[in-house]
Amino acid sequence: MADWSPPFANAGEKRLPTPEEVANGFPCGPADQRLFNALFNRLEAELGDLVGYAGITPSDADNTTVRQAVLALIAAATGGNPAGYILMSQARARLPIFPEVLNTDGRIVVTSPGTGQVRLPGGVDFLHRGIFTVTTSQTDFATDPSKTYHLRWDPTNGFRLIDVANNVYNPTALVETNIKFDSTFDDIIFARVITNSSNVPTITNLANKNLLTADGFGASAPYGDAGYNPSSPSFQWENDVMDPKLITHYATQSVNFARTPQVYITAVQDFWVGNNPAFDAAGFSEISMGARALSRYSIAVWAQGDQGHATAWAARA
C-alpha cells in the first residue's frame, strides 16, 4: 500500500545487512526479523520522503503516489506538464528536420590518405532530426578502381561507403545524380567518391544543413553570345519556344549540396530593350535567360541574346 507515514517498522528493532548479506542475500535458516524490518523500513522511508517532498498526501488506497510525486517535481522544475513531453526516440522519428553538420559550410571534410583509401575524420558533430548529436569517429574505407561511391550515414547502419552500382543500393541502375540518392531526414549522403583506373579517389564533399543556400553572379560572356550573329559557330541563342529544361548552352555553377536545389534568377543587369517601328532584328534586343538545377552538385544558368548583360542567381534546398 502507499501510506508511507510512518514507514514500515518505524519503531521496530532493525539492523542493516552485513557485507556478506549485501552480496549474497538472506542466508539459509530462519529470517532475521530485524533485517527484514530494516530493509522494508528503508524502502518506505525513501519513498515516503519523496512523496512528502512533492506535496502529495500518501494513502493506502492509492498506489500511484510515487509517480504523482515524480511528475509534480518535474513540472515544478520545468514549468510544464510532463505528459506533453516528447521522448528523444520519438523526436528522432517525427521531427521533419534535415541533417545539419555543425560547422560553417555544413560539410564533413572527407579525404584520401592514400591510393584505394577514403578517410572519414573524427570529432565532427552533426544533428539528426535537428535534436540528436552524432559525433564522427575516424574511419578508413577501402575502394576499388573505376568505381563511384556514396559515403552515407543512417541511424541503423552508421557510416557506409556504398558502390553506386550495388544491386541492393541501386536496383534500377539509376544515374548517381538522381534525386533518389539525395539526403533525407534519416539517410544522409556526405560525399561522392570516384576512383580512376589506378584506384586514386576524387572526393566531392556535400553540404548538409536543414536549409541549404547559395548565390552567384555572372556577365553574359559565359552564358551566351553578345552581338547578333546567328551565322557564328559559337552563337548560342536557342529556340524561342524551347522548353527551358532542354536548354543546352549554359554556364555551370557548382553548389555541392546534399539535396538537389531549386534555382532562381534574382537580378538582371544591363538589360537592353529596343524601340523600332520596323520590327526587325536591327532595332531590338531579344533575350533568353533562366536557371535550373542539374543535380545536387551543380546548376545551369543562361542569358542568351544579342546584347551583353549579366544575371544573378540563387539556389536553396
pLDDT tens-digit series, residues 78-118 = 766 666 677 888 889 999 999 999 999 999 999 999 999 99
Buried (b) or exposed (e) across 124-144, using 16+ Cβ within 10 A? Answer: bebbbbeeeebebeebebebe
Same domain, 176 and 110: yes
Q: Which of 113, 191, 111, 183 is nearest to 150 (CA)?
A: 191
pLDDT digits (tens, 9 = 90+) for 146-173: 999 999 999 999 999 999 999 999 999 9
Rounded Cα distance between 1 and 23, Å, is 28
pLDDT digits (tens, 9 = 90+) for 194-248: 999 999 999 999 999 999 999 987 654 434 444 444 444 444 555 565 677 777 7
Same domain, 80 and 110: no
The alpha-carbon radius of gyration of the chain (Å, integer) is 34
Does residue 132 lie within any of the structural domains?
yes
Count the domains in the chain.
3
Helices (H), the chain: 19-24, 33-53, 65-78, 88-94
Tell me which amino acid residue 50 is. Answer: L
Does residue 4 lie within any of the structural domains?
no
Does residue 9 lie within any of the structural domains?
no
User: Would you state the torsion angle of the CA atoms of residues 135, 138, 144, 147, taken in this order, to the nearest 10 degrees?
Assistant: 30
Range of the domain at 286: 213-316
Does residue 8 lie within any of the structural domains?
no
* Grid cell at residue 70: 515524480
Pairing outcome for strands 139-142 and 117-120: antiparallel
Among the candidates 188, 205, 222, a domain finishes at: 205
Same domain, 189 and 220: no
pLDDT digits (tens, 9 = 90+) for 37-88: 767 777 777 888 888 888 888 887 888 888 888 888 888 777 666 666 778 8
Q: Which of 263, 237, 261, 267 is nearest to 250 (CA)?
A: 237
Q: What's the number of CA atoms in the CB half-sphere (13 Å) around residue 16?
A: 5
pLDDT digits (tens, 9 = 90+) for 265-317: 888 776 666 655 555 555 555 677 788 899 999 998 877 765 666 788 899 99
Residue 35 — very low, low, confident or very high, per pLDDT cuts 50/70/90? confident
Among the candidates 171, 205, 239, a domain finishes at: 205
Q: Which of 221, 213, 212, 214 is nearest to 311 (CA)?
A: 221
Rounded Cα distance between 74 and 85, Å, is 11
Same domain, 194 and 221: no
* Grid cell at residue 201: 579517389
| Inter-CA distances, 155 with 13, 93, 127, 188, 235, Å | 55, 10, 12, 10, 51
Burial tier of 52 (Cβ tally within 10 Å: 0-12, 13-18, 19+): middle
Q: Which of 171, 167, 132, 136 is nearest to 152 (CA)?
A: 136
- The average pLDDT across 128-134 equals 95
Rounded Cα distance between 220 and 303, Å, is 6
Does residue 256 lie within any of the structural domains?
yes
Distance linking the first and last C-alpha atoms of the chain: 58
In the beta sheet, which residues pair with residue 313?
216, 265
Q: Which of 15, 76, 65 is nearest to 40 (CA)?
A: 15
Does residue 135 lie within any of the structural domains?
yes
| Inter-CA distances, 9 with 38, 42, 49, 177, Å | 8, 10, 16, 74
Same domain, 222 and 200: no
Q: DSSP E strands: which ranges in the chain?
A: 100-101, 117-120, 125-128, 132-135, 139-142, 148-154, 158-163, 188-195, 201-205, 213-219, 251-254, 262-269, 287-293, 298-305, 310-316
pLDDT value at residue 252: 86
Does residue 249 lie within any of the structural domains?
yes
Task: Find how far residue 151's CA is from the centre of its chain.
Answer: 14
Does residue 1 lie within any of the structural domains?
no
For 87, which DSSP code? -
Among the candidates 160, 182, 205, a domain finishes at: 205
- The pLDDT mean for the chain works out to 82
Same domain, 225 and 309: yes
